[in-house]
Amino acid sequence: MDKAEKKQLRLTALRVRKGIIEGTYNAKSGHPGGSLSIAEILTYLYFKEMNVDPKDPQKADRDRFVLSKGHAAPALYATLAERGFFPVEDLKTLRKSDSYLQGHPNMNYVPGVDMSTGSLGQGISAACGMALASKIEGDKFRVYTVLGDGEIEEGQVWEACMFAAAKKLDTLTVIVDNNNLQIDGTVEEVNSPYPIPEKFAAFGFNVIEIDGHCFDCIEDAVNQAKACKGKPTAIIMKTIKGKDVSYMENQVGWHGAAPKLEQYEQAMAELDAKIAAVEAE
Amino acid sequence: MADVIKTATRDAYGKALVELAGKNDKLIVLDADLAAATKTGMFKKEYPDRFYDCGIAEANMMGVAAGLSTAGFTVFASSFAMFAAGRAFEQVRNTIGYPHLNVKIGATHAGISVGEDGASHQCCEDIGLMRTIPGMTILNPADDVEARLAVFAAAEHDGPVYMRFGRLAVPRVFDENYKFEIGKGAYLAKGTDVTIIATGLLVERAIAAVELLKAEGISASLINMATIKPIDRDIILDAVKTTGCLVTAEEHNVIGGLGSAVAEVVAETCPAPVLRVGVEDTFGKSGPALELLEIFGLNAQNIAEKAKAAIALKK
């Protein structure tokens, strides 16, 4: 990608982060940390890679995205809003009783959401079903799913991985957000899923390891996934939980807590400063 | 009895899928390493390109079914009731039920008539589990004729359906003129003293119970309740109005199944005695299926006894 395009993607990712803070601040709850860590991958998929149309969210040949780590809904909503699926203003209604923006994504309420998720380990199976549908119909579309590194402690994830490789679901790309933190602590402390790449390789995946905040790396990995035939791809991305909000970065406490007014103002100021810096480049 | 046709409802399930595939090219069948037992093997043989074995991984199978359905496929996901409703309950609840996806769950080997495999495989909780999922339709056919029609109706229905089939060959109750409609119970006999509401393989046993009662001068109605959810409230109210007391009969725990569904309707609208024939909140055990049905009281005699007890409770 050229410099101008990358600059736009970086700016979009920062606006997605602002949307995450806006949503969780107004909701007074939600999961900012693991939402902030996936802003680049979502931005890349929805703004550069996936065949989607905000005016026709249900079109049959669209590429699919399943947020298996459904608690990162603020990131998905912010991305979809930026992409034009619904008004950015609506992000302020996150988790309210009269809002369509549920705490975890509901495919029947939110334009652009391809699967209802939230109970960990289940989204990847649905993504496998979608990839199988694509295969049956002649590789009609590609399927992307993002999982947390804590989420892969769920046994169902590995049932799904076995299935994806056995059925040669090469339109499926599984992305692991390896931010190293889950609710009870670091993933090593809780119930270590490491080594992650080796596990996916053993299950028959094409495995790519990248820095999840680097757009060039993401592009290269997604292109490698598309070129790989006969097996699914796993992109294991190292990320920073709470990325780009200084006091949230790598802090386990920001898994499922919302910023208060002062924290909200600081986060927005930091993100605005980053936007200004990128724009000035 | 020599001329009575006996077929397991699971056999009707397999045959009906083959029939359906000819009419619906978006039909996909999934199984979890039990194709020979659930009878989806019949479908696999005829349509190998539309059959996917998910292996011994029911949780994943339910998610795969959900994903396929979002792309416009009508998906039948098959396993034993224990694993389809039990092991994969939360997957069915969250990934099929919550988004109300067009997935049909073909659950075979329900109830204690699984027989010799014993309690670990005898699922008497599945109706209760599935009934608590909003928007879930539950079908529990009595014989092969009804099972075939239930499969066709499920395929036409928009939304999740849980179909409950048995392992045991059971006598045919209905003839070729039988009409099946989701959500409708049907009178098989009309009487004045008591109404028996039966489902699944207990229907045939309830027919025998009506005869036993008749011999004692008791006039019983009999309703076949093949749809457990949505339950046919109108026919239940009619039964209370015309006979004043009810007996339910099912091959399921007396907690959570047909008996509960009927009692809920009666208690809330027209209180009357409701006695339940079913597995009395206990686990099953190994043994020949027909013997077990006697041991657990899932027979005509027990239904008739409960009917008399219900009549005695009438004010």
Same domain, B11 and B156: yes
DSSP B96: I
Both B119 and B244 in one domain: the answer is no
Q: In sequence order, what DSSP letters do the residues of B8-44 get, joined into one string?
A: -HHHHHHHHHHHHHHH-TTEEEEESS-HHHHSTHHHH
Nearest to B57 among A118, A132, A159 (CB): A159
Tell me the CATH number at B137.
Answer: 3.40.50.970
Pairwise CB contact (< 8 Å): B63 & A162: no
Q: What percentage of residues in chain A have a pLDDT greater than 70?
A: 100
Q: Is residue B304 part of a domain?
A: yes
- Min Cα distance A172 → chain B (Å) is 12
Q: d(Cα B123, Cα B118) in Å, to the nearest integer?
A: 10
Give pLDDT tens digits for A10-31: 999 999 999 999 999 999 999 9
* Chain A: closest CA distance from residue B128 (Å): 22
Q: Exposed, middle or buried: residue A89 (CB in 10 Å: 0-12, 13-18, 19+)?
A: exposed
The b-or-e profile of B23-51 (16+ CB within 10 A means b, else e) is: eeebbbbbbbebbebbbbbbbbeebeebb
Residue B98, CB half-sphere, CA atoms under 13 Å: how many? 21
The closest of A83, A88, A111 to A21, measured between CA atoms, is: A88
Does B251 qualify as catalytic in the annotation? no
Last residue of a domain, one of B171, B198, B231: B171
Chain A positions touching B62 (Cβ under 8 A) are: 125
pLDDT digits (tens, 9 = 90+) for A212-260: 999 999 999 999 999 999 999 999 999 999 999 999 999 999 999 999 9
Q: Is the dihedral of CA A64, A70, A75, A78 positive or negative?
A: positive
Residues of B with CB under 8 A from a CB of A: 28, 52, 54-55, 57, 59-73, 75, 90-91, 94-95, 98-100
Q: What is the mean pLDDT of chain A?
A: 98
Asked if B68 lies within 8 A of A129 by C-beta distance, the reply is: yes
- Calculate the CA B252 to chain-centre distance: 9
CA–CA min distance B151, chain A (Å): 22
Question: What single letter denotes the amino acid at residue A101?
Answer: L
Burial of A3 (0-12, 13-18, 19+ CB in 10 A): exposed
Pick from B139, B171, B203: which residue ends a domain? B171
Q: Which residues of A touch B57 (CB under 8 A)?
A: 156, 159, 162-163
Q: Are residues B152 and B236 in the same domain?
A: no
| Inter-chain CB proximity A155 and B55 less than 8 Å | no
Q: Is pTM, for the whole model, over 0.90?
A: yes
Instruction: Give the residue from B138, B171, B204 where a domain finishes.
Output: B171
Q: How many CB pairs under 8 A join A and B?
A: 106
Q: What are phi and psi of B74, to 5 degrees?
A: -95, 115
Which tokens hold the place of A144? 């992307």
For chain B, what is the domain count? Answer: 2
Question: Tell me, what's the pLDDT at B4?
Answer: 85
Q: Is A135 helix (H, G, I), strand (E, B) or coil?
A: helix
| Cα B172–Cα B283–Cα B76 angle in degrees, nearest 5 | 50
Domains and CATH numbers, chain A: 3-280 (3.40.50.970)
Length of chain B: 315
Contact B66 A129 (CB under 8 A): yes
Tokens of A180: 């190293």
- Name chain B contacts of A156, Cβ cutoff 8 Å: 57, 59-60, 63, 91
**Per-residue pLDDT, B45:** 98
Q: Which helix (H) or strand (E) holds B173?
A: none
Q: Note down the domain range covering B207.
A: 186-313
Two structure tokens written together for B157: 């229905």
B205: left (phi over 0), alpha (psi -120 to 50) or beta: alpha
Give B107 to chain A, closest Cα distance, Å: 20
pLDDT in tens, chain B (315 residues): 457 899 999 999 999 999 999 999 999 999 999 999 999 999 999 999 999 999 999 999 999 999 999 999 999 999 999 999 999 999 999 999 999 999 999 999 999 999 999 999 999 999 999 999 999 999 999 999 999 999 999 999 999 999 999 999 999 999 989 999 999 999 999 999 999 999 999 999 999 999 999 999 999 999 999 999 999 999 999 999 999 999 999 999 999 999 999 999 999 999 999 999 999 999 999 999 999 999 999 999 999 999 999 999 997
CB atoms within 10 A of CB B176: 5
Q: Are A174 and A147 in contact, with CB atoms under 8 Å apart? A: yes
pLDDT given for residue B42 in this prediction: 98
Residues B202 and B275 in one domain: yes
